[in-house]
Amino acid sequence: MQIFATALWDALNRFLSKGGTVRASHVALSMMLAIFPFCLLALSLAGVVSRIGLTGSETELGDILDLVFGSWPDTIAGPIEGEVRAVMETSGGSTITLGALLTILFASNGFDAIRIAVSEAYHDKDPRPLWKRRLIAAGFALGGAALVTVSGLFGVVIPVYVRFVSDYAPILNLDIVTHEAVVFWLTGFVLLAGLVAIHKWLPGVKRPLRAILPGVILTVVLWIIIAYGFDFYVRNFPTYSVTYAGLAGVIAALVFMYMMSAVLVLGAEYNARLGEIAQARKNSGS
């Protein structure tokens, strides 16, 4: 247990003294630029699913938004979610094309910023050529949109299936499987899958799963704490809205993204420090 505490303290010191705050700012701004076109692409893919008759468009829209912003505090996600919904409800087919192009452009920059920040936190040099790094970043954007879309489809299908089974076998007590519960677990799955993929495949140096799980777990725990804490602050301290007036929603989202990015970088620093301690113990024979 002392090893984990020591590694966390060392990782925090290294984060503060080795430019971790700057890397977190870079990631936050890049992902803030990427989030809107990413939502457009995911919702456009969901629209394709709706048009072939699997789900209704409004249900699909709501479920996808729940997955994208499900881990965000309502006070922060609400304004952004409202704008995304307004664009999707009033747009035509051109938005799908534009959303796809913007997602590839901006989201690849966002994931490339994460790659740089995570690689530097691990103290690695990425040996891959530029074209391959950009292609992988674009693949992460498209793969993430597909994952969110498929998860949104499951969020619609699973409750329907559960109700169908419950009608024929009430003894199973499947009524506890509500739509909200399904969305909660799907959001958690998307979050964990995304974090593991970021640590596993985005950097140029590959690591085994056991070497990245401590940082992933630390990131999730701190994200939950920060989300509840920041939501409490925004709800109970009206001076925030007074200070930033009409920009309060944008500033709140940007600050929230910065804190999430800082925790992501810290998680990589934590894994790196644990690896150094393990290697030092192995070399000393203890």
pLDDT digits (tens, 9 = 90+) for 31-89: 877 777 777 767 666 666 555 544 444 445 666 666 667 667 777 777 777 766 776 66
- How far apart, in whole angstroms, are the C-alpha atoms of residue 96 and residue 145? 13
Which pLDDT score, from 0 to 100, does residue 260 have? Answer: 92
pLDDT at 120 over 80: yes
Domain ranges of the chain: 2-278
**In 10 A of CB 204, how many CB atoms?**
16
Q: What percent of the chain has pLDDT over 90?
A: 28
Q: Do residues 75 and 251 make contact, with C-beta atoms less than 8 angstroms apart? A: no
- How far apart, in whole angstroms, are the C-alpha atoms of residue 135 and residue 201? 13
Q: Do residues 229 and 73 make contact, with C-beta atoms less than 8 angstroms apart? A: no
219 versus 1: which is more confidently predicted? 219
Q: Do residues 258 and 24 make contact, with C-beta atoms less than 8 angstroms apart? A: yes
Highest-confidence segment of 64-73, 173-182, 201-210, 242-251? 201-210
- How far apart, in whole angstroms, are the C-alpha atoms of residue 54 and residue 34? 28
pTM: 0.82
Which pLDDT score, from 0 to 100, does residue 107 have? Answer: 72
Q: Cα angle at 101 between 132 and 156, to 5 degrees?
A: 100
Residues contacting residue 52 through CB under 8 Å, at least 6 positions apart? none
pLDDT digits (tens, 9 = 90+) for 3-32: 888 999 999 999 999 889 999 999 988 887
